[in-house]
Amino acid sequence: MPDKKQPLHRTSGRTGGAFLPTKHGEFTAYAYPNSGGGEAHLALVHGNLHTDEPVLVRVHSECLTGDTLGSLRCDCGPQLERALQEIGAAPAGVLLYMRQEGRGIGLAAKIEAYMLQETGTDTYDANVLLGYPPDGRDYRQAADILRDLGVRRVALLTNNPAKSSALRAEGIDVAREVPLEIAPGQHNWRYLAVKRQRFGHRLRLRAGGAAAGAQ
């Protein structure tokens, strides 16, 4: 647990670290200013990051409806829960909570996209019809945060190859991908299928339209 008498630590805009005990383990929390001008990004660090082994890392994009409200339209909430469990059980790990709601379009636009989806439009086309890219997330600041934490080599919790490629392009060595297996439900199986078919995520689709995978 950090010494409460020590001043706040600030490096490259970083504020922290505050001791954060959770049901998944003990973490140290750091806040980073959002270069996009929104709410601060959060880094949760578990264990000693000074290791020769790849550090288990999850780069999780904010999803208020799934992470906080328990929406069944997506798999974001269970992904966040599982990632914290796996990182908390690992010798060392980092969860980056990036404020990129709705694949980067923001909360209000995501709700508009939900309305389009209720008329049969999939998650890919809904963003496009609203004038946004299908996936507008930017991982450059995630890479900056990992470097600031001293992490250069990672085992990335994801099934999204584009996320791995984006981090590699920023100089982060993604040694391997660690899949998250999330059981599908009646409200999100089509969403998961679109992830695989149109976004290129590595998902396992089973008979009857069931799917599993990670954002």
Q: Where are the domains of the chain?
A: 15-100+137-183
Q: Which of 38-47, 55-64, 188-197 has the lowest mean pLDDT?
A: 188-197
Average pLDDT, stretch 50-74? Answer: 96
- Which residues have a catalytic role annotated? 135, 137
Q: Taking a C-beta distance cutoff of 8 angstroms, is the pair 42, 31 a contact?
A: yes
Locate all alpha helices (DSSP H) within 18-98, ordered by sequence.
76-89
Residue 207 has pLDDT above 60, yes or no: no
- pTM, full prediction: 0.88
Give tens-digit pLDDT for 96-140.
999 999 999 999 999 999 999 999 999 999 999 999 999 999 999
Q: Which pair of structure tokens corresponds to residue 51?
A: 């290791």
What's the distance, Cα to Cα, between the start and end of the chain in Å? 32
Instruction: Provide the angle, in degrees to the nearest 10, between the axes of the packed helices 161-169 and 140-148.
Output: 60
Per residue in 75-91, pLDDT (tens digit) is 999 999 999 999 999 99
Which CATH code fits 15-100+137-183? 3.40.50.10990
**167, 174 Cβ separation under 8 angstroms:** yes
For residue 164, give the H/E element and its range: helix 161-169
